[in-house]
A = this chain, B = another copy of it.
């Protein structure tokens, strides 16, 4: 079921007309997007495959969950990013790789590649308890964010109607599992929401009396940050009314109910919203690749790649982003962050271009530009290597960096001004509780 324009140049077969080098990229996240962008001027044609028709600016996804931004504000249609470029966008699912035939098998067609870049990302890991997802959704897609938004705002509505004080307290209890950047930002945003935005909106309840619990298994939140910043972040969260519980292990999750162990204690809580921000599991495409190439995968399902980010033995198959296990300067694997994926995407693009000119490149080296996490309106922590900030200066850096990235490939200046406006006026225009959209079975996968 091939489409002619895509498989027109099958390099191995029509040697007489020197075909253009065909780069196939799976995934339009940060890794795939930056790879395709960096190949714009290379003498190649690119096919970008994604299941969705947009790139998502995931670092601001938590803002959708708390009603600060609308989905359209942080998503860029891939077709409009790559209009008038050498990249063709295809909406499809990658199923299998056939390295011998240089074939990528999608659900609806097959693509012959000269170079293949796999950047399918990952999803939340429930450590083998996948049924917890029903009660404690993660924050990875627009749908997740809207689901969380519905839960959070419905909790206030239910509390407003509830006379039983125990149940009311339950609805006003928000538990966030995982104290990494996502969990911290979500907890901070909920703190702000309950303490300022919703302050005067209800008659029977006081949103400011909500309980916001951040459960982290390690001895400090933001474990990948310098210790001083972890402490500052915790103090900022506490000022917003968030209770941080360290060394906490979740042992059970049910409807409106979470059980966790902290030291020798086991506690059971009634909670209207339980949000999952712990653990990452790489895309199953990694196992698929391992099956066909013998590549090793780590415990999180990531593919262990070589110094040039290619699969050992397959120099034209690259893995980047959350699916790649790449060791940093200190020997530990690089974290699943947008900056890592972006740098990897650019590196692979440069490497492919260099090889076409019969040049070589040194191995990939991640440049640590800094870690940022935001906690509410004007507090953040920034670790820029030598310099470490917290409070408002860190927030300003955070805002500038994010706005700069957002407008890099999509002119979202005004969206961001709007957002900053809301931020300072403490409004939340997007706090709509929307319902399930009707299903239509014949919409493409």
In the assembly, what is the distance between CA of A438 and CA of B71, in Å? 16
Q: Is the CB of B72 within 8 A of A430?
A: yes
Contact digits for A104-140, partner B, Cβ 8 Å, 1 yes 0 no = 0000110000000000000000000000001001000
Number of A interface residues in the complex (CB < 8 A): 75
**Cα–Cα, bound, A146→B440 (Å):** 12
Residues in A46-95 with C-beta less than 8 Å from chain B = 52-54, 67, 69-73, 75-77, 79-80, 83-84, 88, 90-92
In the bound complex, do residue A151 and residue B5 qualify as a contact, i.e. CB atoms below 8 Å apart?
Answer: no
Query: CB distance B77 to A428 under 8 Å?
Result: yes
Known: A109-B161, A158-B444. A437 touches B52 (CB 8 A): no
Copies of this chain, complex-wide, total: 2
CB neighbors of B among A243-265 (8 A) = 255-256
Contact of A79 among B54, B91, B201, B438 (CB under 8 A): B201
Query: Do residues A3 and B204 form an inter-chain contact, with CB atoms below 8 A?
Result: yes
A431-445 at interface with B (beta carbon < 8 Å): 431-440, 442-444
A387 interface contact, C-beta 8 A? no
Asked if A202 is an interface residue, CB under 8 A from chain B, the answer is yes
- Which B residues touch A137, using CB under 8 A? 438
A54 neighbours in B (Cβ, 8 Å) = 431-433
- Give the residue of B157, B204, B439 whose beta carbon is less than 8 angstroms from that of A91: B157
The answer to whether B438 touches A88, judged by C-beta atoms less than 8 angstroms apart, is no
Given the known A-B contacts A3-B163, A204-B5, A437-B437, are A75 and B157 also in contact in the complex, defined by CB atoms under 8 Å? no
Instruction: Tell whether, in the assembled complex, residue A440 and residue B71 are in contact, meaning their CB atoms are under 8 Å apart.
Output: no
Interface string of A315-340 (1 = CB under 8 A from B): 00000000000000000000000000
Selecting from A222-230, A290-298, A412-420, the interface stretch reads: A412-420
CB-CB < 8 A to A160: which residues of B?
A: 90-91
Contact A90 B432 (CB under 8 A): no
Instruction: Decide: A203 and B437 in contact? CB cutoff 8 A.
Output: no
Known: A143-B438, A434-B143, A437-B146. A429 touches B415 (CB 8 A): yes
Q: Can you give 17 A-B contacts (C-beta < 8 A)?
A: A4-B163, A52-B432, A52-B433, A53-B157, A54-B433, A69-B72, A71-B430, A71-B432, A75-B432, A77-B201, A80-B201, A80-B428, A143-B435, A161-B444, A410-B429, A412-B429, A434-B437
Report which A residues bind B (CB closer than 8 A). Answer: 1, 3-5, 52-54, 67, 69-73, 75-77, 79-80, 83-84, 88, 90-92, 108-109, 134, 137, 142-143, 146-147, 150-151, 153-154, 157-158, 160-161, 163, 198, 200-204, 255-256, 410-412, 414-415, 417-418, 421, 425, 427-440, 442-444
